[in-house]
C-alpha cells in the first residue's frame, strides 16, 4: 500500500498507542515503511513519491493550470499570473506548455525508476473522472 511520504504514521507496535492517537514517541518518522496487520491478513505500507498529477483535476487544461499556478512566477501571460514561491521550489519564468509538463514529469519518474528506487508513484481516481476515449489524447478538455 502506498502512503504519504511527507508525514509520520502512528506506531501501532507501541502497546500504549491505540491506532490514530498521537502520543509522544508513538509516531513513525515521515517516509517510514511499516507493516500493519498479521502475516496472513496484513500489508506493507511503502512511502510513495509525490507527483505533479493533482488530485483536484480531471482534464488536461485543469492539470496545466494547476501546474502553472504552483510553478510559474512572472507577469500575467495569457490571463495567467504565477503564484510560485522561490523559497519553496524552483519557479518557471514562462508558463509551461503541455509538452513541458509531460516532459518534466517523465524525467522525474523515469529517473526514479532508473535509479532502482522501488517506491511507487500514483495518480488519483479523480484524474480519470472525465476521461473520454473518443477524444484525442491531446484534447485540452
**Burial per residue of 101-125, b for 16 or more beta-carbon CB atoms within 10 angstroms, e otherwise:** beeebeeeeeebeeeeeeeeeeeee
**pLDDT tens-place string over residues 85-114:** 888 888 998 889 989 999 999 998 899 889
Average pLDDT estimate for 2-13: 81
* Alpha carbon distance 57, 128 (integer Å): 9
Grade residue 22 by pLDDT with cuts at 50, 70 and 90: very low
Average pLDDT estimate for 26-40: 84
Give the global pTM.
0.67
Average pLDDT estimate for 6-25: 64
What per-residue confidence (pLDDT) applies to 139? 67
Amino acid at each position: 500500500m502506498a502512503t504519504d511520504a511527507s508525514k509520520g504514521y502512528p506506531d501501532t507496535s507501541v502497546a500504549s498507542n491505540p491506532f490514530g492517537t498521537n502520543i509522544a514517541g508513538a509516531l513513525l518518522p515521515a517516509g517510514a515503511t511499516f507493516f500493519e496487520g498479521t502475516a496472513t491478513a496484513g500489508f506493507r505500507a511503502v512511502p510513495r513519491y509525490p507527483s505533479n498529477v493533482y488530485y483536484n483535476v480531471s482534464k488536461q487544461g485543469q492539470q496545466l493550470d494547476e501546474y502553472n499556478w504552483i510553478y510559474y512566477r512572472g507577469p500575467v501571460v495569457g490571463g495567467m499570473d504565477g503564484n510560485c514561491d522561490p523559497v519553496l521550489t524552483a519557479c518557471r519564468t514562462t508558463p509551461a506548455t503541455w509538452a513541458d509538463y509531460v516532459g518534466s514529469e517523465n524525467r522525474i519518474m523515469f529517473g526514479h525508476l532508473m535509479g532502482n528506487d522501488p517506491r511507487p508513484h500514483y495518480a488519483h481516481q479523480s484524474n480519470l473522472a472525465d476521461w473520454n476515449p473518443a477524444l484525442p489524447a491531446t484534447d485540452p478538455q
